[in-house]
Amino acid sequence: MMSCGEKMKVLITGVAGFIGSNLASRLIKEGHEVIGLDNLAYGLRENIPDGVHFHYLDIRDQSIYRAFEGADAVFHLAAKNCIADCQEDPVETADINVRGTVNVFEAAKRAGVKKIIYAESSALYEGSKVFPTPESEVNPESFYAVSKLASMYFAEAYQRFHGSSTNEPSAMSHQPLNFTALRYFCVYGPVQDYRRTIPPVMSAFIIKLLRGETPIIYGTGEKRRDFVYVEDVNDFHLMCLKDGRTDNRVFNLASGVNYSVNEIYEMVSELLDIHIPPIRKPDLPGEAERTLADIGEATSLDWMPKTDIKTGLLNAIAYIKSEMAKGNI
Ligand X SMILES: NC(=O)c1ccc[n+]([C@@H]2O[C@H](COP(=O)([O-])OP(=O)(O)OC[C@H]3O[C@@H](n4cnc5c(N)ncnc54)[C@H](O)[C@@H]3O)[C@@H](O)[C@H]2O)c1
Q: Footprint of ligand X on this chain (CB under 6 A)?
A: 14, 16-20, 37-43, 58-60, 77-81, 96, 100, 119, 121-122, 184, 186-187, 193
Q: Which is nearer to ligand X, 12 or 171 (CB)?
A: 12
What minimum distance in Å lies between the beta carbon of 188 and ligand X? 7
What minimum distance in Å lies between the beta carbon of 307 and ligand X? 15
Q: Which is nearer to ligand X, 155 or 171 (CB)?
A: 155
Q: Which is nearer to ligand X, 1 or 41 (CB)?
A: 41
CA distance 166 to 154: 15
Query: Where are the extended beta strands (E) located within 203-302?
Result: 216-218, 224-229, 249-253, 258-260, 279-281
CA distance 67 to 53: 10
What minimum distance in Å lies between the beta carbon of 24 and ligand X? 11
Q: Which is nearer to ligand X, 52 or 77 (CB)?
A: 77
Q: Which is nearer to ligand X, 119 or 149 (CB)?
A: 119
CA distance 317 to 329: 13
- Regarding beta strands 224-229 and 258-260, do their DSSP bridges make them parallel or antiparallel, or are they unpaired? antiparallel
The DSSP line for 25-52 is: HHHHHTT-EEEEEE--SSS-GGGSPTT-
Q: Nearest 5°: phi and psi at 227?
A: -95, 140
What minimum distance in Å lies between the beta carbon of 21 and ligand X? 8
CA distance 324 to 329: 5
Q: Which is nearer to ligand X, 82 or 177 (CB)?
A: 82
What minimum distance in Å lies between the beta carbon of 207 and ligand X? 16
Helix axes 101-110 and 143-162, enclosed angle (nearest 10) = 20
What minimum distance in Å lies between the beta carbon of 141 and ligand X? 15
What minimum distance in Å lies between the beta carbon of 83 and ligand X? 10
Cα distances (Å, whole numbers) of residue 319 to 231, 316, 324: 14, 5, 9
Q: Which is nearer to ligand X, 37 or 111 (CB)?
A: 37
Q: Nearest 5°: phi and psi at 150?
A: -60, -40
| DSSP state at residue 263 | H
| DSSP state at residue 165 | T
Q: Is the peptide bond before 132 cis (omega within 30 degrees of 0)?
A: yes
Residue 325 CA, chain-centre distance (Å), reads: 27
| DSSP state at residue 260 | E
What minimum distance in Å lies between the beta carbon of 161 and ligand X? 23
Q: Which is nearer to ligand X, 171 or 258 (CB)?
A: 258
